[in-house]
Amino acid sequence: MTGSKVTGSKVTTLREAVAEHVRDGMTVALEGFGHLIPFAAGHEIIRQRRRDLTVCRMTPDILTDQLLVAGCVSRLVASFFASGSAGSLHEIRRRVERHDPAPLETEEYSHYGMYCRYEAGAKRLPFQPLLSYVGSDLPELNPRIRAVESPYGEGKVYVVPPLNPDLTIVHAQRADPEGNTQLWGITGAQAPAAYAASAVIVTVEEVVEPEVVRADPNRTLIPAHAVDVVVEVPGGSHPSYAQGCYDRDSAFYREWTPISRDREAALAWIDEWIHGTADHAAYLAKLGRPRWDGLRVAPAPSGSVSYGRRKG
Amino acid sequence: MTADAHSPDGAAPTAAPSVADGTATDRATGRSTVALSDVPPHSAEFLATVAARELAGRRRVFAGVGLPTLAVDLARRTIDPNVELVYESGVVGAHPEAMAEGIADSVLVSGAEAMLSMDALFGYVLQGGHVDVGFLGAAQVDRIGNINTSVIGDWRRPEVRLPGSGGASDIIASAREIVVVLRRHDPHALPAEVDFCTSPSPARARRQEGFHQPAGAGVTTVITPLGILRRPDRYGELELAAVHPGVTVAEATGNAGWDLRVRADVAETPRPRTEDVRLLREEIDTVRLYLR
C-alpha cells in the first residue's frame, strides 16, 4: 500500500499491471486460501517471464508449482506444501528432495504462524506471538521462528517476524474503480497481506459502480487506500473458484498431479496453456465453453440487511 | 478412558448409538439385531466408521481433509447431529449439501453458521480453547504421540517431502485433544521416535522449560488399519486399546516401532454396520474420492 490516496480510477489491464509492478527478484505475496487464488495474475507473471521471485503463499498450491516449473521462483515462504485433496505438488518435491533442476529455498511456518507474519507486517509490529511450536522441530528448521519471554510473567512464547512483501496480489469477487474491494466466502490472508505490502494489485471478477460497494460497506475487506491497481479478470481464479460465481475445477486439480510428476509434461503444459495464450481471456477460450459451463453454480443469494439512513 | 462415554471400544454392536436405519428384527427370537458389514479393517469405510464413533460426546470438531471428512459426515448422520464442524479456512458450523473436496470447498461455505476470518478462527476459536477435538492425518506418530507431517529422513535433504504443518502444529497446541487416523500400521508409520516433530506431544513440549505450555492434551487416540491406540495420560505413551476383527494382539504390537504396551482390557473393535457402509458409499462419498 503506497498510502497516497489517488482519487479516480485505478483500473488497468493485467498485462500493464504486471509489466509495471512485478520486477525480477521481488518478494510477491499471492494470497487466497483454496479460494479466490489469483491464477490469472500468476499466469501473466509466467507470460512476462519474471525471474528470481520470492513467492509468499500460505498454501503454495498448483499456482506455485506452475510458477516454479516456468522458472519464475527462487524462494518460497509457505505453510503447506501439497495440493489439498489432490495430492503432491511434484515440481516443489523435485526441487526440495532432489534439487532437480535446481534447489528451492523454503521458509516454512504453520498456517497460523504465516498468518501472524502478515498481521505483524500489516500492523508494523516487530513480531507477533502465538501459542504454537512449543516442543516442535519447526523452530530448528526455520530459525526465524524465535522465542521471547513474556514481560507479564507467563513464560516464553514463540514469535514470528513481520512479512512485508514488495507486492501483494489478490483476487476478489468485485471492486469499484478506486479499489474498494469486496470479497466473501473464505477470505484467507488477503486483507493483512494487502496491508503488509508496498504495492497491491487486485484482480476482480467484476468492476462495479461505487454505489454497489457503498450499499454494503461491511463486505469491503480491502479499502481503496490500500489498493494501487484494479484489474477486471472474469474467471481469474480458474482452476480455483470464486464463491457465488463459479466452482473449483476439481478435474483440473486431479489432472495436474500426473502433469507435474513429469517435468517435460509440465513444461509442455506451460508452453501450451500460458505462453500459447495471449491473455486470460484466450486461456478461458481455449478451456472451452462446455468445461466452463460445468463450473457454473446455482444462485444462493444472501438475504439483504438494511443499514438504514437518518430521516429528514 | 475405558469406561467413559467417549470410548466405544468393546461396546457390543447392539449398544452402538441407536439409529433406526439398519436395524432388523430376528424372526426366531424377536430380538432386534443390527446387520454388520464385513468390509476389511484397512478399508476407508472401516476406518471412517471407527473414527466417526470417536466423536460421540464431542461438541466442536476441527476437521482436516480426507478420512476425517468422511468421519465427521458419518458422525453427524449416525452418532450426533449436533457435532459442530470447524475448518481452518474459517468455516464454523458447516452444513454442506455435498461432500467437501477439501477444507476450502465452496459447499462448506454455503449454508454455514459462520464464516470467520482466519485470525478469528485460529486466534479466537482455536487458541481461545473452543475446539474439543482436532482430527488429523499423519505420516508418522510416535510412542508419546508426536506427529510428523513434514519430512521422511534428514530434513536438510529429505527422502520424501511431506506437506508440512498446515494448521496441524497450531491445532495440537490448543485443541482439547487430537484423534489421528493412520492408513498404515508398521514401524515406519509408528516409529519409537518421529524423524521430524511437526506437531509435538505435551511430553515433548514440557522438555522446553520456561515456556508457556500448550493447553491441549495432544494425541489421545490413533486409529490404524490394525487397531486403536490410546494415550490416557497427558505425559504417557500410546497403548493398544483395541484390535480390529481378524487382527491379533501380537500383529498389532509386532508391527509397531516400539514395545507397544497392551491394555488389560484390550477389546475387539465392533464392525461397521452395513448401514454405515451404505451411507459412506451411496450418500457421502458418491464419487469415491476418499473411498479408494
Model ipTM value: 0.94
Could you tell me if residue A272 is inside a domain?
yes
- Name the domain count of chain A: 1
For B168, which residue in chain A has the nearest alpha carbon? A110
Per-residue pLDDT reduced to its tens digit, B85-114: 999 999 999 999 998 988 899 999 999 999
CA distances from A296 to A62, A155, A238, A286, B95 (A): 21, 52, 12, 17, 21
Could you tell me if residue A43 is inside a domain?
yes
Could you tell me if residue A131 is inside a domain?
no
Question: For position A1, what pLDDT does the model report?
Answer: 43
- Mean pLDDT, residues B184-213: 97
Could you tell me if residue B5 is inside a domain?
no
Closest approach of chain A CAs to the CA of B43, in angstroms? Answer: 18
- How large is the angle between the packed helices A250-261 and A61-69, nearest 10 degrees? 40
Q: Cβ contacts (< 8 Å) between B208 and chain A: which residues?
A: 134-135, 156
Task: Read off the CATH number of the domain in which B107 is found.
Answer: 3.40.1080.10
β-pair type (B151-152, B160-161) = antiparallel
Q: Does position B23 have pLDDT exceeding 60, yes or no?
A: no
- Cell digits for A58? 500460505
For A84, which residue in chain B has the nearest alpha carbon? B102
- Mean pLDDT, residues B216-229: 98
- Name the domain count of chain B: 1
Those of residues 199-218 in B touching chain A at CB distance below 8 A are 199-202, 204-208, 210-215
Per-residue pLDDT reduced to its tens digit, B122-152: 999 999 999 999 999 899 999 999 999 999 9
CA torsion angle for A58, A163, B151, B292 (degrees, to 10)?
A: 0
User: For chain B, how many residues are written?
Assistant: 292
Question: For position B30, what pLDDT does the model report?
Answer: 60
List CB contacts of A238: < 8 A, sequence separation 6 or more.
A39, A40, A246, A249, A252, A283, A284, A287, A295
Could you tell me if residue B117 is inside a domain?
yes
Closest approach of chain B CAs to the CA of A70, in angstroms? Answer: 21
Question: Residue B78 sits in which domain range?
Answer: 41-283
Q: Does position B20 have pLDDT exceeding 80, yes or no?
A: no
β-pair type (A27-30, A167-175) = parallel
Please choose, from the candidates A62, A2, A71, the residue with its C-alpha nearest in 3D space to the C-alpha of residue A30: A62
- Nearest residue, CB atoms, B214 vs list A97, A110, A131: A131
Question: For position A2, what pLDDT does the model report?
Answer: 44
- Cell digits for A30? 499471492
Could you tell me if residue B82 is inside a domain?
yes
Q: Which residue stretches of chain A have pLDDT < 50? A: 1-6
Closest approach of chain A CAs to the CA of B140, in angstroms? Answer: 14
List CB contacts of A156: < 8 A, sequence separation 6 or more.
A147, A148, A149, A150, B208, B210, B211, B212
Of B88, B177, B237, B275, which residue is the catalytic one?
A: B88
Output the average pLDDT for chain B. 89
Catalytic residue list contains B88 = yes
Could you tell me if residue B152 is inside a domain?
yes
Question: For position B25, what pLDDT does the model report?
Answer: 55
Question: Residue A215 sits in which domain range?
Answer: 14-125+162-293
Q: Does position B220 have pLDDT exceeding 60, yes or no?
A: yes
Could you tell me if residue B262 is inside a domain?
yes
Q: B166, A113: Cβ pair inside 8 Å?
A: no
- Cell digits for A257? 498431479
- Mean pLDDT, residues B44-68: 91
For A301, which residue in chain B has the nearest alpha carbon? B110
Question: For position B27, what pLDDT does the model report?
Answer: 59
b/e burial code for range B50-76 (CB count within 10 A of at least 16 → b): bbbbbbbebebbbbbbbbbbbbbbbbb
Which residue type does A304 have?
S
Question: For position B26, what pLDDT does the model report?
Answer: 54
CA B172 – CA A83 distance, rounded (Å): 22
Question: For position B18, what pLDDT does the model report?
Answer: 39
Neighbouring C-beta atoms of residue B232, cutoff 10 Å:
16
CA B92 – CA B88 distance, rounded (Å): 9
Q: How confident is the model at residue B281 (pLDDT cuts 50, 70, 90)?
A: very high
Q: Cβ contacts (< 8 Å) between A147 and chain B: which residues?
A: 211
Could you tell me if residue A140 is inside a domain?
no
Q: CB-based contact (8 Å) between B126 and chain A?
A: yes
- Nearest residue, CB atoms, A135 vs list B117, B165, B204: B204
Q: Does position B1 have pLDDT exceeding 70, yes or no?
A: no
Which residue type does B234 have?
R
Q: A82, B169: Cβ pair inside 8 Å?
A: no
Could you tell me if residue A240 is inside a domain?
yes
Q: B115, A186: Cβ pair inside 8 Å?
A: yes
CA A67 – CA A242 distance, rounded (Å): 21
Question: For position A81, what pLDDT does the model report?
Answer: 85
Secondary structure string (H, E, C) spanning A206-234: EECCHHHHHCCHHHEEECHHHCCEEEECC
Closest approach of chain B CAs to the CA of A194, in angstroms? Answer: 14
Task: Read off the CATH number of the domain in which A72 is found.
Answer: 3.40.1080.10
Could you tell me if residue B2 is inside a domain?
no
